[in-house]
Structure 1
Amino acid sequence: MSSLKNYSRRRFLTQSGLGLVAFAGMPGFLQAMEGMHGMPKLTPNKASPNFKPDVEFDLFCQSGSVSILSGQQTQVQQYTALLKTGPKETLTNIAGSYLGPLISLQKGQKVRINLYNKLTEPTVTHWHGLHVPANMDGHPQYTIDPGEILVYEFEVLNRAGMNIYHPHPHEATAKQVYHGLAGALFVHDDEEAKLELPAGEYEIPIVIQDRLFDEQNQLIYARNMHDRMTGFYGNRILVNGRPDFQIDVASRAYRLRILNGSTARIYKLGWDDGTPITVIGVDGGLLEQPEVKPYVMLAPGERLDVWADFSGRNEGSQLVMRSLDFSGVLPKMAGRMGGMMHANTLPVGSNYPIFTARITKKVSDSPKLPSQLSKINWHPISATANPDKPLPIGISEGPMAMLLNSRPYKFDDIQDFERIKVNTIQLMEIFHAHGGSGGHGKESAPATEEHGGMGMMGGMKHGNDDQKGSGQSMMGMGHKGGMGMMSGMKHDDDDQKSGGQGMMGMGGGMGGMGGMGMMMTMAHPIHLHGQQFQIVSRSVSADNAADYATVRDGFIESGLKDTVLVMPGEKVRIIKPFQDFKGLFMYHCHNLEHEDMGMMRDFLIE
């Protein structure tokens, strides 16, 4: 019986790819994805007369054109800035790039930023990684219309680290980031300064992005729904907004500040000659001690602080940073479809160059790598408010749904477990929630009748402890569940038993995804706004072990994070503080196409 069940499931997975493409092309599909719930419009924040900034600058969102490829200039959207008060090194432009200026701040500074919307569409800017009040975080409800000004005022509370600033308007984040609105923001502090790490010309930002161009050098983005289902991928790798990027270095140590600024692409970074990568920091700043890795995984929104020592290398030699071969981050279905979903792209998980370091000068002196970098204030599980019941972040995917905790994004849709007391530390678990409990049992988010997910095989019957559901009818509607194909398949998962009937039925369960959701399961970089968190543990199912083996040595758990890559079949436990500020703080997939499709939720800190 078991072998028959497995054979039937394999046959369905193999045969359903083309059906999904056809399904995604249905007229109602695009409407379903673009008809999401609206967002309230608040009056833009104004400057407070009682706030005395140490640093103030104007930040403009505007259209422009830059030379990226040979020939015609490319139309982009970009940040520009004008310093009004503060040290001159606060803003540094990247010559010839569409990327926003590098912003450098000091811990403890009071900062005012005047955001001017000079676009023809609404926008707002999020300070990804910064610990700021909710009304200064760039939540989509603070989006401003063309011609409006939004004033941010906050004190820099972060430890030293590399952060990001980018747009966060509802359902338009990916498009605006893709067209150029992004930049790096560095925080510095006394702890970092005492290390005397490479600085100035020896500290190099590396912002990695992929883009797709037409014959007139104009950016192509999300031509159809197929381009969004697994995220949008380009066939050109740009670094700091430039193709075929090269840095000229001396034979000494450098500090490379690396950011994955792509909307969806995941990289497995490694030197072409097998030289290990020495990591000294991640999203939330410096590690306590350096870590040496054969390669490092880098998902959208993640950052790396790399000690790159070119000492002993001959003048004229070069070293190439590549993205190395790996597997498992895209749905199995996508591989079977032979690239139909993303024509003309550079295959995800293939081997290709990112940038080249060319040694142009031989020197004898070089700084030494510190053995101790920083001190991190770790929180034990016993210090959390919920050591025996982690807050769930359940991921589920389908051709018409990208969900967290069984629900698409909707403003003012806070669930009980998404209400968190301020000044508490929370244990959380991120997992793939396909079929009743997604393997999470009683700790999972409750399945809801009102918000079943829309996905193939959505009418499957799922067991989640004492919760039961059933799928029924052909193109019929179950009990307020999710749209689905092949809903009548039976599926047993551990001690969960389920059954249903009919095809193209509507059914319930956690996200209404069932077997199709499991077939579409893919890696998701999950970003939590506000304070950085620590990773407690990672575990992966036996079914995903082979793919996981191609990436597992590239994860770093010894630093503070605000974005974590969760592989198919993986559970990641984290500890996150919610201190100082009340209000709405988002959590979402940083595959930005998925964020715009609804894989986003709010925590309400009370």
Structure 2
Amino acid sequence: MKRRSVFSLAALTGVSAVLGACSSEQQSPGGASAFTNRLRIPPLAKPETGKDGVKTFALALEAGGRSEFLPGKSTDTWGINGAYLGPTVRAARGDKVRMKVTNRLPETSTLHWHGMRLPARMDGGPHQMIEPGTTWTPEWTIDQAGMTSWFHPHLHEKTAMHVYRGLAGLFLIDDPSDPRLPDRYGVDDVPLIIQDKTFSSDGQFSTGRVDEGTYGLLGDTILVNGTYDPFLDVTTELVRFRLLNASNARVYRVGFADNRQFHVVGNDAGPLEKPVAVDRVKISPGERYEIVVRFAAGETVVMDSKGEDEKSANDIEEEDFRLLKIVATAKPAASPALPATLGGTATVAPAAGVRVRTFSLSGSEINDKDMDMNRIDEVVPAGALEIWEIDNTTFAHNFHIHEVAFRVLDVDGVAPAAYQAGPKDTVFVPKKAKVRLAVQFGGYTDPLSPYMFHCHILRHEDKGMMGQFVIVTPGTEEQVPRVLAAMAGHHHG
């Protein structure tokens, strides 16, 4: 296993800022990070609330950004409401939200609400294209557990490059009925968007391998919230970190250099039943984990990622990275005790006789088929609980299903680790492994508007490793056409 230092990126909104001085060690693989730059916290998006009570969030996809990441070098970037990355959208269960998405890019894009349970026409997948200069305005009522979600482009065959250039942001849902956890954004409730990049000698993002090779680009430079070589001052005993792997392909095993224990409190789609003590969490692209960490007065500790010692189950190259230096104040404010229960439920295996669907993953196909925008692969009755069996016949993948929340029943017949037992929408699938999921579908029906299931390694998704399903009124499954000729190339402006 090779070791590389982390070079986290300072993604600046608007004009470039001057970063702190950096030694040559920091800029070369194998050097030690000095953690000279304060971690950037993405700003909270400010909605406008109309007389109808709907909260409207305005988001603009923008090209032409200039961000100083490496000291003294300017990088061309894309962003949402700024030069790189986007603001954090925060709303509560029960809120009616409207997203006013304007495309100021020189090309067509989309914006997908990853992890949201909402009508398919509002999902932001490859059928909801936004042409340059136009605005798309989906709206829905939030009705799901408190969780950490995110948004990113999802256009067919070009998702990897759009995300890599900087189009991504967090979407947080609060549930007033949840037990109390640290929730002061940027203080004791801190988002961590983890990405890897490679820079050319002039400071530009290297893009040559984004659409090449087995996995696409695996970068040697780690970004955290768009901050280069970051540190964070913490002022409370407990801090909740919302981890998002927004990388195109890289897998991380996040923990701390001193191997301290911390607690996982939430998975992709909501809270666990109770806190789970761990010293590492494995997180593949698109996955999220909420963790709570205790800090002692005046201490300094480094959050890092460790590659697997044994790689028999995972052939994505894993390396060691230093992610973030955390410095605790000399007199941290007392935090409420971590709740003994979190409001989630235990995984219960579906009863005998439920529908079982099987999916075989190859290099870039699902069930020996490439993605076809006009083909419906699966038709599911609203509210169904099904078992989806994912049989990976080749190298490592991961699997994301839109709209749903699922539980991982087992991986090669073995139950998942306790910290992975909560509701999820994305799961890592090791090479040659079989994963069984208990999938709970929602109630939004539309026989003509599909949701996606796909590998969230973005190079694989773009190559065609994606399928489509519709949710319909129970009993009408056989009436649904499997060809969507009328939907092909359908754009929303």
TM-score, normalised relative to structure 2: 0.80
Aligned partner of 1:323 in structure 2 is: 305
Report the aligned-residue RMSD: 2.4
- The question of whether the paired residues in 1 share the 8 Å contact of 2:303 and 2:324 is answered with yes
AA aligned to 2:368 is: S
Aligned partner of 1:468 in structure 2 is: none
Q: CA deviation at 1:377?
A: 7.7
Q: CA deviation at 1:325?
A: 2.4
- 2:74 paired with 1:73: yes
Match of 1:178 among 159, 164, 167: 164
Aligned partner of 2:361 in structure 1 is: 395
Aligned partner of 1:528 in structure 2 is: 401
Q: Distance in 1 between matches of 2:145 and 2:312?
A: 32
Aligned partner of 2:290 in structure 1 is: 305
Q: Number of aligned pairs?
A: 417
Q: Distance in 2 between matches of 1:224 and 1:79?
A: 21
Q: Report 1 or 2 for greater relative contact order, CA contacts < 8 Å, sequence distance ≥ 6.
A: 2
Q: CA deviation at 1:270?
A: 1.7
Larger radius of gyration: 1
Aligned partner of 1:55 in structure 2 is: 55
Aligned partner of 2:465 in structure 1 is: 599
- The question of whether the paired residues in 2 share the 8 Å contact of 1:159 and 1:284 is answered with yes
Q: Distance in 2 between matches of 1:555 and 1:298?
A: 14
Q: Distance in 2 between matches of 1:380 and 1:58?
A: 41
- 2:247 paired with 1:252: no
Q: Distance in 1 between matches of 2:362 and 2:146?
A: 34
Farther off after superposition, 581-590 or 101-110: 581-590
Seq. identity, %: 31
- 2:370 paired with 1:408: yes
Aligned partner of 1:373 in structure 2 is: 342
Q: CA deviation at 1:579?
A: 2.1
- 2:414 paired with 1:429: no
Q: Distance in 1 between matches of 2:181 and 2:286?
A: 27
Aligned partner of 2:116 in structure 1 is: 130
Write the deviation string for residues 107-164 of structure 1: whole angstroms up to 9, x where unpaired. 1111111111100010010000000000000121111211111111111112100001
AA aligned to 2:370 is: P
TM-score, normalised relative to structure 1: 0.65
Match of 1:189 among 152, 175, 185: 175
- Quickly say closer, same or farther: Cα 1:131–1:224, change in 2 above 3 A: closer
- 2:215 paired with 1:239: no
Q: Distance in 1 between matches of 2:346 and 2:470?
A: 25
Secondary structure of the corresponding residue to residue 223 of structure 2: strand
- Quickly say closer, same or farther: Cα 1:145–1:364, change in 2 above 3 A: closer
- Quickly say closer, same or farther: Cα 1:224–1:115, change in 2 above 3 A: closer
Q: CA deviation at 1:557?
A: 3.1
**Structure 1 spans left out of the alignment, 5+ residues:** 1-49, 82-96, 335-347, 434-520, 542-551
Aligned partner of 2:38 in structure 1 is: none
Aligned partner of 1:452 in structure 2 is: none
Aligned partner of 2:257 in structure 1 is: 272
Secondary structure of the corresponding residue to residue 404 of structure 1: coil
Write the deviation string for residues 402-456 of structure 1: whole angstroms up to 9, x where unpaired. 01111111112224xx1212221111111114xxxxxxxxxxxxxxxxxxxxxxx
Secondary structure of the corresponding residue to residue 403 of structure 1: coil
Write the deviation string for residues 563-605 of structure 1: whole angstroms up to 9, x where unpaired. 0001112211111122211231100011011100111111122
Q: Distance in 2 between matches of 1:422 and 1:604?
A: 9
Q: Distance in 2 between matches of 1:115 and 1:271?
A: 38
Secondary structure of the corresponding residue to residue 229 of structure 1: coil
Aligned partner of 2:24 in structure 1 is: none
Q: Distance in 1 between matches of 2:229 and 2:144?
A: 34
- Quickly say closer, same or farther: Cα 1:238–1:153, change in 2 above 3 A: same
- The question of whether the paired residues in 2 share the 8 Å contact of 1:329 and 1:523 is answered with no
- The question of whether the paired residues in 2 share the 8 Å contact of 1:198 and 1:253 is answered with no
Farther off after superposition, 244-253 or 128-137: 244-253
- The question of whether the paired residues in 2 share the 8 Å contact of 1:296 and 1:555 is answered with no
Secondary structure of the corresponding residue to residue 199 of structure 2: coil
Q: CA deviation at 1:79?
A: 0.6
AA aligned to 1:147 is: G
User: Normalized per residue, which structure has more strand?
Assistant: 2
Aligned partner of 2:19 in structure 1 is: none
Secondary structure of the corresponding residue to residue 327 of structure 2: strand
Aligned partner of 2:7 in structure 1 is: none
Q: Distance in 1 between matches of 2:391 and 2:261?
A: 30
Secondary structure of the corresponding residue to residue 363 of structure 1: strand
Q: CA deviation at 1:328?
A: 3.0
Secondary structure of the corresponding residue to residue 604 of structure 1: strand
**Structure 2 spans left out of the alignment, 5+ residues:** 1-49, 473-493
- The question of whether the paired residues in 2 share the 8 Å contact of 1:143 and 1:169 is answered with yes
Q: Distance in 2 between matches of 1:413 and 1:363?
A: 56
Q: Distance in 1 between matches of 2:261 and 2:199?
A: 33
Q: Distance in 1 between matches of 2:313 and 2:196?
A: 17
Aligned partner of 1:169 in structure 2 is: 155
- 2:427 paired with 1:564: yes
User: Normalized per residue, which structure has more helix?
Assistant: 1
- The question of whether the paired residues in 2 share the 8 Å contact of 1:166 and 1:183 is answered with yes
- Quickly say closer, same or farther: Cα 1:143–1:74, change in 2 above 3 A: same
Aligned partner of 1:546 in structure 2 is: none
